[in-house]
Amino acid sequence: MAASPRSDHQQEASDIQQAARIHQRWLKSVLGLGALEAKLWVVSSAQLLALMCGVVFLILTTWLLIITTGAAVAWSYGFSLVGILITATLMTFISAVVLLYLVKRTLHGMNFTRTLDAIIPTDEE
């Protein structure tokens, strides 16, 4: 006995609904994974920022004390005040350039491509 066109149409509609539900669940899990990674990234970044504030304060204080100590020793040996200030300025500038390099390198390492590659691999893999 042949199936009626009505039951074939109902079966097809049921299959389409089931495929849509499967795709919705898949999309929900993908978006959930992305949201979870973003949440972990934000929490880790906030913690890192809080710790770095303390570290920056201590390093800045230490760096200024090192420059001041060097300036005081140079002054006691008779170096000119202008030479001491120029040297301290150059040391501060060079250290700022080094820190800027480290910041750029750190920012380059922070990306979301690992999650995207885990979900949708590229053709090269």
Judge whether 124 lies within some domain.
no
Judge whether 39 lies within some domain.
yes
- State pTM to two decimals: 0.47
Q: Residue 9 pLDDT more than 80?
A: no
73 contacts 88 by C-beta, under 8 angstroms: no
pLDDT digits (tens, 9 = 90+) for 67-88: 999 999 999 999 999 999 999 9
Residue 78, sorted as left (phi over 0), alpha (psi -120 to 50) or beta, turns out to be left
Number of domains in the chain: 1
Judge whether 66 lies within some domain.
yes
Judge whether 105 lies within some domain.
yes
Domain, as residue range, for 63: 5-119
Judge whether 125 lies within some domain.
no
